Amino acid sequence: MAQIDDLPPLRDVIRTHGLTPKKSLGQNFLHDLNLTARIARAAEPLENITVVEIGPGPGGLTRALLALGARRIVAVERDERAIAALQEIAARYPGRLDIVSGDALTVDLMAHLGPERARVVANLPYNIGTALLIQWLTVEPWPPWYDSLLLMFQREVAERIVARVGDKAYGRLAVLAGWRTDAKILFDVAPAAFVPPPSVTSSVVRLVPRPVPLPCDPVALQRITEAGFGQRRKMLRQSLKSLGVDTLALLEAAGIAPTARAEEIPVEGFVMLAREFIALRKSTAR
Ligand code: SAM
């Protein structure tokens, strides 16, 4: 493949800016611009899109997204050492790369986004990937501020996101993702593509928001799934006790057998439980 831009190779960028990978920041850098271009292509079409990239690091994926025509990128990076490297990319693509130096878990993204469509594309730091995904899946209002999420996770996490009831990986993440999005694994990326290589394979996942998911309060759904899957081998009549409501009444109202286990309940069942949980709490508060 032809070179994607006239900036230096990533290896040189990493060396010049002293970006020795830090484990504490989940830093496994992609060095191959052909691979970052493959990931960016999975996010196309990019024209008229503002991409939110979390953890651009030395900017391999950032460069691919810009070369493929992303209108603007808002890139949130916690490692101050990477900011100078990113500024060189910003200078090459004037007005198209906004660098936000900070923690993606707490930064106010809305302050950086305009009215145009936004899309999240990221090779996430493994240590906060799940927390970020949960934030994006439980955001209000819905439909959300992004039109899709294209994210790289460890394969095992990707499987937990796309799992269906009956799958071994079915759990809390699958319920949240399945409730509000269509989630799909697109392709795998071998450990050797990263520096340093992680111990496991990674996967690129695309999540597309459902315009009208079943009505349900995300906080209640999180509480139910946490309780249910927190003790996944136990029957729900036992595992849901921590919710502090009449568990048998809750299960009956949701039409679910008290002897069922969380892993047997499809997304719709959890939505019913979350709705009835709120109704039950309201009625007992009166
Ligand atoms: N995008 C680059 C690539 O593909 O080579 C780097 C990906 S690396 C897996 C994760 C990146 O997220 C690192 O650059 C790291 O510094 C950054 N990071 C870690 N924690 C972060 C946080 N809380 N907020 C923003 N960025 C973070």
Calculate what percentage of the chain has a pLDDT beyond 90: 93
Domains of the chain plus CATH, in order, are 10-209 (3.40.50.150), 218-285 (1.10.8.100)
- Measured in Å, residue 125 CA sits from the centre of ligand 1 at 5
- Measured in Å, residue 221 CA sits from the centre of ligand 1 at 29
d(CA 275, CA 257): 17
- Measured in Å, residue 274 CA sits from the centre of ligand 1 at 34
Determine which residue's CA is closest to atom 5 belonging to ligand 1: 29
Give the number of the atom of ligand 1 that is nearest the alpha carbon of residue 104: 24
Nearest one of 26, 63, 20, 65 to 42, comparing CA atoms: 65
pLDDT of residue 285: 76
- Are 235 and 258 within 8 A, CB to CB? yes
Q: Look at strands 50-54 and 72-77 and give their pairing.
A: parallel
Ligand 1 site, residue 159, Cβ cutoff 6 A = no
Taking 90 as the threshold, does the pLDDT of residue 284 lie above it?
no
Nearest one of 141, 159, 125 to 57, comparing CA atoms: 125
Average pLDDT in the 20-25 region? 96
Nearest one of 93, 97, 98 to 111, comparing CA atoms: 98
Confidence of residue 283 (pLDDT cuts 50, 70, 90): confident
Average pLDDT in the 79-103 region? 98
Average pLDDT in the 259-265 region? 97
Confidence of residue 115 (pLDDT cuts 50, 70, 90): confident
Ligand 1 site, residue 59, Cβ cutoff 6 A = no
Give the number of the atom of ligand 1 that is nearest the alpha carbon of residue 76: 25
Least confident residue range of 32-36, 52-56, 172-176: 32-36
| C-alpha separations of 27 from 22, 103, 193 in Å | 5, 14, 13
Mean pLDDT of the chain: 96
Taking 60 as the threshold, does the pLDDT of residue 1 lie above it?
no
pLDDT of residue 286: 67
